[in-house]
Amino acid sequence: MVFLLDLSFTPRDLMDELFKQLHNALGAELLNRIQSGEASPADLNVARQFLKDNGIDANMKASEPLLNLAKVMPFDPDEEEAA
């Protein structure tokens, strides 16, 4: 058996690929836990931070789940914006 070593990959390319695989695996695992209903509060916090760290946010006016959540929160969102 002959193994060919692909020398076109630099250490940076390999690290980028590893990062991409880890990123995808983390996202998939968090999604699985949330969709299955098995996500702990810590899992939800990790998912929140994962989205925030990757520049993902939601416009409350365009997101019915966010609007529904805001309706049951014990504060006035308009009051928070003014502060």
User: Is 22 or 70 the better-scoring residue by pLDDT?
Assistant: 22
3-class SS string, 2-36: CCCCCCCCCHHHHHHHHHHHHHHHHHHHHHHHHHH
How much is the pLDDT for 30? 95
Chain segment 53-83, per-residue pLDDT in tens: 988 887 767 788 777 777 777 776 566 555 4
How much is the pLDDT for 41? 94
Chain segment 26-51, per-residue pLDDT in tens: 999 999 999 999 999 999 999 999 99
Q: Sign (positive/negative) of CA torsion 16, 20, 21, 25?
A: positive
Q: Name residue 72's amino acid.
A: V
The span from the CA of 49 to the CA of 55, in Å, is 10
The span from the CA of 47 to the CA of 41, in Å, is 10
